[in-house]
Chain A
């Protein structure tokens, strides 16, 4: 019975393969790049869906966490340590693989932290910051929490825009590819296109499995109970603050992972990723996706980001997401994919097992 919940994962995996095959056959492989990027954005959406849909907390600062992941990784992998290469600490780090030499696209010799080391550092930093922010604001409810996270997002944006080390308005470019086991790498260059499409989707599906396991477990039940009646959950011995804090941090880590891999994929990250409108966009996508509906959020996350990246919305990009939010709040506050008719349709393949 417990394996039944993975059926949509297999279904999605088949869809992913089918899409690649048909795009390759029709010679439209250029779409794959944007789908890959959308998949990384979808990681943020999946995390936010856990937070908003299941734990019932709105965050308008998720672009901030995306940025903390992306920028930390970007800075550490591009900051040239070649001037310190004789420093014994750097020599030691080099010997254990924390620091690696490579050449950028201009052929300059660069000695920087390896992507793996940067990944771990970025995740640790995200955990720290999310915990600190979370500890101080997690007791806030509803729009108070939304506003506090909005403030956090604004601060991160100004830091990124103002600090020399983050490249200010230019952002950071020349981020090296991320070497994965089995000679795979997260790399946006043309020969790696199909490979990266699968790497991204592999990560998304792993994230989905983790999220599904969580919401289907005891903890998921507890999160929903907090969402529905906090005081009752508290009286049953649920440490509601810890549960909310953990979900907040978890959700931030999903966003950070999206940021880390997307910046390695596109070899760059800039302040446009950190604007408040980006955070609003993630919230809008979770709303359209149906709030407590992981698959709905994933579909919408990939679809809307893809359309946006293709430039379908033109210069009205942000306006479209703003409008989406208004329309959803007016006509389907529970989320579009939650309306009964959509639900019935979806339940054909997302039916949750009670076993």
Chain B
């Protein structure tokens, strides 16, 4: 499948601000694709347009050749797209284990009635879900924290839990919104390894990121946004040499130097 995820001419305005301007991007299966750009470039807006948090005024989003434009987040999630948030959004008063178990929601089949009557299928499913959640925590080396309340964890671990929770969905595509934000240099390195590991499991990753070092080391392809417009797309090496990219990141002077 060549075009696993595809956006076609997306437009989104906020009042007079053209936050996303005619952005068409396609992601291949098994890729790590990064979207970079300076602050206010429209990265997060673009990201939210895919996740269904906000809807485009124009353009379409396709996932596995299915039009998912104007679908609500839970529908998008149901199709196999998981996401994390720029500012981690854990269920603060719940334990890590419970957080992960909510991530299993789409795999649970019991409704209100079955749960109220505590039917055997309910607790059987719950047991399976718990076992699977513990496996995931084990993969993330978080087993010791399983019963810790989420809001008590240090920031770096919270980010990790959020990624673990989205993987509990067993998605085909993982959207990571600035995963390195607020992490120190060592944590960022570990994060890079983690994202590669996720990709190796067959999960396609789309990373919106500010941190160039992370992006350049792990992505197969990079898209650069500036003021809502896609200004470059290609492999990291080519992007690093692109004068337009250098200009928006470092200013006109630098661009002139590298060109000469």
Binds A, one of B59-67, B92-100, B252-260: B92-100
A218 near B78: Cβ-Cβ < 8 Å: no
- Tell me if B92 and A236 are in contact (CB < 8 A): no
Chain B interface bracket (under 10, 10 to 19, 20 to 34, 35 or more): 35 or more
Whether B123 contacts A235 by the Cβ 8 Å rule is no
- The reply to whether the CB of B122 lies closer than 8 angstroms to some CB of chain A is yes
- The residue on A at minimum CB distance from B84 is A235
Query: Are B125 and A218 in contact, CB atoms less than 8 angstroms apart?
Result: yes
Query: B89 touching A231 by the CB < 8 A rule?
Result: yes
Inter-chain contacts of B186 with A (CB < 8 A): none
A211 to B112 Cα, complex, angstroms: 10
* Number of interchain pairs (Cβ within 8 Å): 102
List the one stretch of B17-25, B102-110, B135-143 in contact with chain A: B102-110
Q: Considering only CB atoms, which chain A residue lies closest to B175 in the complex?
A: A235
Some 24 contacts from A to B, beta carbons below 8 A apart, are: A213-B115, A213-B117, A217-B110, A217-B115, A218-B105, A218-B115, A220-B115, A221-B94, A221-B101, A224-B98, A228-B94, A231-B73, A232-B91, A233-B91, A234-B72, A235-B51, A235-B73, A236-B74, A236-B102, A236-B103, A236-B169, A237-B169, A238-B102, A240-B74
Is B173 at the interface (CB under 8 A from chain A)? no
Q: Nearest Cβ distance between residue B146 and chain A, in whole angstroms?
A: 10
Interfacial chain A residues near B166, Cβ < 8 Å: 235-236
Q: Are A237 and B117 in contact (CB under 8 A)?
A: no
Q: Which residues of B contact A217 (CB under 8 A)?
A: 110, 115-116, 118, 122, 126
Q: Does B90 contact A (CB under 8 A)?
A: yes
Q: Which residues of A contact B (CB under 8 A)?
A: 2, 210-211, 213-214, 217-222, 224-225, 228-229, 231-240, 246, 250, 354
Q: Closest CB of chain B to A218's CB: distance in Å?
A: 5
Complexed CA–CA distance, A236 and B129 (Å) = 15
B90 touches A232 (CB 8 A): yes
Residues of B within 8 A of A246 (CB): 112
Q: Using Cβ atoms and an 8 Å threshold, which residues of chain A touch B205?
A: none
Select from chain A the residue with minimum beta-carbon distance to B115.
A217
Contact yes or no, A222 B112, CB < 8 A: no
Q: Are A210 and B103 in contact (CB under 8 A)?
A: no
- CB–CB B53/A229 < 8 A: no
Give complex CA distance A215, B87 in Å: 28
Closest-by-CB residue of A relative to B94 is A224
B12 interface residue (CB < 8 Å to A): no
